[in-house]
């Protein structure tokens, strides 16, 4: 139990300092400094932000569904933490031979806390934000599953460890697949230019408009924890040195930085263009890759 608590604590610290790296990269891409006042080079800025957030009072919306309102952020955080047990280490469940199937089950459940948060808040802004987020997630979910099934057929295994030794050749010889995967990674994590779940200019703050203090902190942690996990999964696709923790860590940081630079470089898409890309481009390409791999295996 102590090992699991330490593992989750490391994830939370990683999320905290990932936000600092994100703000620094965004600021330097716009020729400004970013956070630099709290202690040395702003290193304690995430801790100060966390203490300020947790010290805020939590307001319960009028006529909200009390139990769903408070359970939704906790459920979202629980789903994110359950993903990290798949990374085989001294605190992982090594008996999970069907790790990727388990991941697909957990990833498809991500729509439920968003729907519950928007519906239970009894606010039209949160409900509209949750509906828009659900439409985006469901639009990309099919393509996302097809992409993972394609690489499952390539390695003929459900184990995450098998990915680290075989997929690098597939990724290097199929750059179009990797480009589609990166688009789906950004869309799956609700990041710019596909951040319609939290379009502040249109929907105040999306499905989490009515959340503050601890509820908002849990939603925040789950979102950035998912980004880190998918970045780690992408780094596993690119490398065949799974036992080397340093290389996996550096490549994960690199993928996280790429996601941040995409946010700093591209404006938010129009919603109709988002649906067009999802249903007419990415779904078509992912289906072609799946059929091609099925023919290759058979």
The pTM score is: 0.89
Q: What's the rounded Cα separation, in Å, for the pair 106 and 59?
A: 30
| pLDDT at 200 (0 to 100) | 53
Q: How confident is the model at residue 286 (pLDDT cuts 50, 70, 90)?
A: very high
Q: What's the rounded Cα separation, in Å, for the pair 117 and 115?
A: 6
pLDDT digits (tens, 9 = 90+) for 252-280: 899 999 999 998 888 888 888 888 888 99
Contact 69, 89 (CB under 8 A): no
pLDDT digits (tens, 9 = 90+) for 145-155: 999 888 888 88
Q: How confident is the model at residue 96 (pLDDT cuts 50, 70, 90)?
A: low
pLDDT digits (tens, 9 = 90+) for 183-193: 888 888 888 78
* Average confidence score pLDDT of the chain: 83
Cα angle: 264, vertex 255, 230; to 5 degrees: 110
């Amino acid at each position: 139990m102590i090992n699991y608590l330490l593992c989750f604590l490391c994830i939370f610290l990683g999320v905290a300092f990932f936000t600092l790296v994100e703000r620094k990269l965004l600021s330097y891409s716009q020729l400004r400094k970013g956070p630099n006042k709290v202690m040395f080079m702003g290193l304690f800025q995430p801790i100060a932000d966390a203490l300020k957030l947790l010290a805020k009072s939590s307001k319960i919306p009028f006529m909200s569904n009390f139990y769903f309102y408070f359970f939704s952020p906790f459920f979202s955080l629980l789903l994110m933490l359950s993903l990290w047990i798949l990374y085989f280490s001294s605190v992982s469940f090594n008996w999970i031979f069907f790790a990727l199937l388990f991941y697909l089950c957990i990833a498809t459940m991500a729509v439920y806390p968003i729907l519950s948060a928007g519906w239970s808040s009894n606010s039209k802004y949160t409900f509209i934000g949750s509906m828009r987020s659900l439409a985006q997630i469901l639009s990309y979910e099919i393509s996302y599953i097809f992409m993972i099934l394609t690489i499952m057929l390539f390695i003929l295994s459900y184990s995450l460890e098998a990915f680290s030794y075989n997929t690098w050749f597939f990724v290097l010889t199929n750059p179009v697949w990797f480009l589609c995967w990166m688009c789906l990674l950004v869309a799956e994590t609700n990041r710019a230019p596909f951040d319609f779940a939290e379009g502040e200019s249109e929907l105040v703050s999306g499905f989490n408009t009515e959340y503050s203090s601890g509820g908002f902190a849990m939603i925040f942690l789950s979102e950035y924890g998912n980004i880190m996990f998918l970045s780690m999964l992408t780094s596993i696709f690119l490398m065949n040195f799974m036992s080397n923790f340093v290389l996996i860590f550096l490549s994960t940081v690199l993928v996280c930085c790429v996601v941040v630079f995409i946010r700093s470089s591209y404006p938010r898409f129009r919603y109709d263009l988002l649906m067009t890309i999802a249903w007419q481009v990415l779904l078509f390409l992912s289906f072609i890759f799946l059929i091609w791999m099925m023919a290759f295996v058979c």
